[in-house]
Structure 1
């Protein structure tokens, strides 16, 4: 084989491997735990799919039946190489799915007395 045919093939291979996100399962779980307010081990991650720009979409199911759809941006191999490893992964962004058990946030306590101001009244908290 000639060097001329190997170099373009190696360049294409390097570019293709640089498109996948580099975050591992542990990093994904840590960011998800922070986003949904649960500890690692209290939920499972499924339906993980990656888009071209490093976006990772996935579903989360908690032990008590709450369901979330989440995404985050993971650094691709190419981005990591170009920034000398200094580009971080994003935080996870999760949305509670309507109708899932236990996913609704707790209601904020209502303020009373002198703590109730115009902003709290407008928000319906007193």
Structure 2
């Protein structure tokens, strides 16, 4: 192979390697713990996949068999290099899956009081939150 053939290939590989997320497992667990309101160690992360642009999709399973689908954005190697390492990672966004077994498949109730201090409207009643 000549230099002319190697250079474009090297450039393409360098750009593609800069597309991977740069957050480590510990950072992912910390952000997930904050999102689902559980301590690190009370859940496992499975089915992790990364999209281009730094989006990470994954599943969280808790000890009491509640399942969450989560995602977050992590700075890619290229983004981090271009911003001199100042690009932050996003918070994790998680949704409790209705079919999960813990707590009857329902997500944690909100902080809306059943009586007294908060208003209970038709939507809150339909959601079983008051």
Give TM-score, length-normalised by structure 2.
Answer: 0.82
2:97: which partner in 1? 97
SS at match of 1:81: helix
- Give RMSD over aligned pairs: 2.1
**Pair member with larger Rg:** 1
2:76: which partner in 1? 76
Give structure 1 stretches of 5+ with no counterpart.
Answer: none
Give TM-score, length-normalised by structure 1.
Answer: 0.84
Structure-1 separation of matches of 2:2 and 2:98: 59
1:65: which partner in 2? 65
Number of equivalent positions: 121
1:20: which partner in 2? 20
SS at match of 2:90: coil
Give structure 2 stretches of 5+ with no counterpart.
Answer: none
1:110: which partner in 2? 114
Structure-1 separation of matches of 2:9 and 2:98: 48
Q: What does the per-residue CA deviation read over 1:18-77, in whole Å, with 9 as the maximum and x for residues that have no partner? A: 011011100000000000000000000000000011100000000011100000001100
Structure-2 separation of matches of 1:121 and 1:68: 27
Q: What does the per-residue CA deviation read over 1:100-121, in whole Å, with 9 as the maximum and x for residues that have no partner? A: 2135213532342xx46xxx24
